[in-house]
Amino acid sequence: MTVEWATKQQRSTALSPAPQPHRFAFYGRVSTEDQQDPEASRAWQLARSRALIEPVGGQVVSEFFDIGLSRSLPWKRRPEAARLLAALRDPRRGFDAVVIGEPQRAFYGNQFGLTFPLFEHYQVALWVPEVGGAVDPGSDAHDLVMALYGGMSKGERNRIKLRVRSAMAAQAATEGRFLGGRPPYGYRLADAGPHPNPSKAADGRRLHRLEPDPLTAPVVARIYTEYLAGNGLLAIAEGLTRDGILSPSAYDRRRNPHRNTPAWSKSAIRVILTNPRYTGRQVWNKQRKTEILLDVDDVALGHETKMRWNPAEDWIYSGALAHEPLVDDATFARVQALIATAGKRPDGIRKPRASKRNYQLAGLRHCGICQRRMVGSFNNDRNNYRCTYPAEYADTNRVAHPRSIYVREDHILEQLDPWLARAFTPTRLTETIQAMADAQHHDADQQALKAARETLATCTTRLDRYRAALDSGTDPTIVSRWIADVQAEQVTAEATLRRLTGRRTMTPDEIRRIVETLGNITTVLRDADPTDKALVYRELGITLTYRPTTRTVSAQATPSGSCTRLCPRGDLNPHALYGH
């Protein structure tokens, strides 16, 4: 009787429904790239969530809503989603389950499979309308549905990208439309009438075209003329600097706040000489956005967007002239032919250049005045490092820089090797590793992060004020320019945030493993071949800055995290270096 009663009780317990959660956290996301209203999007996602949980007595007690972030970003890299994941770990989080009103906005690709195990681990239910309630961890059907919506989310994003790129290619080729971005040096933006899309025109959007800048257009013509006359890139740059003509970044300070170089450079001259837009045609698709893995050792961190140059044959040209040309087609073609043949010699004349000198600190030395890398230079039978700075550049950029600065390699190594040996002794190893880990968090980065966040907050306030001005009857042309300026600031600040918050730093344990892989630093540096010593310096992340005014060198070590193939010949402490 006792056994039979227990079995019935177990069956009754198994058949009884699990207690329903009553306190829910809501998560949603909206991207403003396609002009969505964040408040309206939050409202309908929240309404859909409440329609799912209120019939069972649930209520939303916490909200997590990401604004302006791509769905392709993993949860760890979305501020609100990351805050929700952190809350799952807190036993005093204040909610029993999480409800998502639109899974396609929350999960992209395989993100559900990477995120849901955390909900299972911390015993927090995940509710979505598409399964009619809580996602069952043991249900293959639920797992398939969520994976399907992740795939649909990825497909939708890819379709949008394809449609946008196809439309922009057609607009550039057939209409010669200016599709945004900064105007090339020598041009400025001019109004080209209201936007052809009625809804965008109603919002005050205007089209733009390029017109010659009366101050800089003659400079472009001068550059082409001088190059065809036989002047090299450096000679042209020095001539413009000598004549007091501001460089492109100095001329347009509003768009180049991160640069302070009034002097012209060879790269700026080359960009102007190779830009086909000076022939009067609109050119699009010169560059593309490419998504690359943020960390190849941790695919779950997702991708970051990088700009890459497309091959010239993939560029899109307008069929007819879209703006007034600054050079004719024949002149441009002659310049391209000269650039293509510049520096080339007939086969067999140019000898392969192979340096016989081994510079152990190559790429690690920096000038303390201009912050550029110093290059190797063999003088007086010794390895030296040199930094040369033309006098015209120094005067124009207001830099007190001698024309040439030299520092001997052996003088640096006499101090560097003993410093490393002392720093990595067993008694100081822990302190050194912690200092190397702390060195990854620069004060300048923290200040830049704070400044970017303050800029975004200010931009939001200004946009609200400009939209209110638009509603009150202010000229839409003026307001649209204001809004465009603020949106440009927003893009720059958001890029800074992504760069700084997405940066991966090494933990002290990871640094310790690299140091242990190198083995006894003192023995390594004493017995190593110069080539292998150079490799050790790079793996330790050595950075050296020479300050000629005080004749001092400051050193910093930050391991790279890629300690592999340190000794291809096997003669540098092989017992330590071939560990995994």
Do β-strands 125-128 and 97-100 pair in parallel, antiparallel, or remain unpaired? Answer: parallel
**How far apart, in Å, are the Cα atoms of 141 and each of 99, 125, 147, 323, 453?**
19, 17, 10, 58, 42
**How far apart, in Å, are the Cα atoms of 292 and each of 110, 112, 281, 301, 305?**
17, 21, 32, 11, 6
In this predicted model, which residue has the larger pLDDT, 366 or 353? 366
- Give 61's DSSP letter: E
Task: Pick the closest to residue 433 from 514, 491, 327 (CA basis).
Answer: 514
Give me the count of residues in the chain.
580
Task: Pick the closest to residue 459 from 496, 412, 507 (CA basis).
Answer: 496
Q: What is the pLDDT of residue 412?
A: 82
Cα gap 543→148, rounded to integer Å: 49
Q: What is the pLDDT of residue 568?
A: 34
Query: Tens digits of per-residue pLDDT, 376-390?
Result: 888 888 888 888 876
Residue 517 token pair? 């892989």
Q: What is the pLDDT of residue 433?
A: 67
Q: Is the pLDDT of residue 164 over 60?
A: yes
Whole-model pTM: value is 0.56
Cα gap 161→157, rounded to integer Å: 6
| pLDDT, mean over the chain | 78
Q: Is the pLDDT of residue 518 over 60?
A: no
Confidence category of residue 191, pLDDT binned at 50, 70, 90: confident
Query: Percent of the chain at pLDDT above 90?
Result: 22
**Sign of the C-alpha dihedral computed for residues 128, 133, 135 and 141 taken in this order:** negative
CATH fit for domain 187-282+318-341, picks 2.40.50, 2.40.10, 3.90.1750, 3.40.50: 3.90.1750
Residue 232 token pair? 């090299």
Q: What is the pLDDT of residue 293?
A: 78
Average pLDDT over residues 242-258: 81
Q: Is the pLDDT of residue 525 over 60?
A: yes
Query: Tens digits of per-residue pLDDT, 424-458?
Result: 676 766 776 676 666 555 555 666 777 777 787 77
Q: What is the pLDDT of residue 364?
A: 81
- Give 133's Cβ-side CA count (13 Å radius): 11
Helix (H), strand (E) at residue 567? none
Question: Class of the 20-158 domain?
Answer: alpha beta
Q: What is the pLDDT of residue 524?
A: 61
Q: Which of 76-85, 234-243, 271-280, 545-554 has the lowest mean pLDDT?
A: 545-554
Give the distance, in angstroms, between the CA of residue 442 and the centroid of all CA atoms in the same chain.
17
Q: How many CB atoms lie within 10 A of CB 380?
A: 7
Cα gap 146→164, rounded to integer Å: 27
Tokens 């809503």 found at: 65
Confidence category of residue 349, pLDDT binned at 50, 70, 90: very low
Instruction: Kindly tell me the number of DSSP H helices and DSSP E strands found in the chain.
Output: 21, 17
Cα gap 70→105, rounded to integer Å: 9
Q: Is the pLDDT of residue 148 over 80?
A: yes
Helices (H), 74-139: 79-88, 103-106, 111-121
Average pLDDT over residues 72-98: 90
Cβ-proximal residues to 242 (8 Å cutoff; 6+ apart), any chain: 392
Do β-strands 303-309 and 287-293 pair in parallel, antiparallel, or remain unpaired? Answer: antiparallel
* DSSP string for 138-192: T-HHHHHHHHHHHHHHHHHHHHHHHHHHHHHHHIIIII----SSPPPTTEEEEEE
Q: What is the pLDDT of residue 192?
A: 85
Q: Is the pLDDT of residue 307 over 70?
A: yes
* DSSP string for 203-263: TT-EEEEEEE-TTTHHHHHHHHHHHHTT--HHHHHHHHHHTTPPPHHHHTGGG-TT----S
Cβ-proximal residues to 376 (8 Å cutoff; 6+ apart), any chain: 355, 357, 359, 362, 383, 384, 385, 386
Q: What is the pLDDT of residue 185?
A: 93
**How far apart, in Å, are the Cα atoms of 175 and each of 11, 189, 208, 284, 323?**
73, 17, 12, 12, 11
Average pLDDT over residues 541-555: 82
* DSSP string for 340-384: HHTT---TTTSPPP------TTTTTEEETTT-PBPEEEEETTEEE
Q: Is the pLDDT of residue 9 over 70?
A: no
* DSSP string for 388-418: E--HHHHHHTT----SEEEEEHHHHHHHHHH
Q: How many CB atoms lie within 10 A of CB 489?
A: 16
Cβ-proximal residues to 261 (8 Å cutoff; 6+ apart), any chain: 247, 249, 250, 397
Tokens 């056994």 found at: 3
Tokens 């400044």 found at: 451
Q: Are the C-beta atoms of residues 71 and 115 closer than 8 Å to each other?
A: no
In this structure, which amino acid lies at residue 345? R
**How far apart, in Å, are the Cα atoms of 471 and each of 184, 261, 463?**
34, 41, 12
Cα gap 489→254, rounded to integer Å: 10
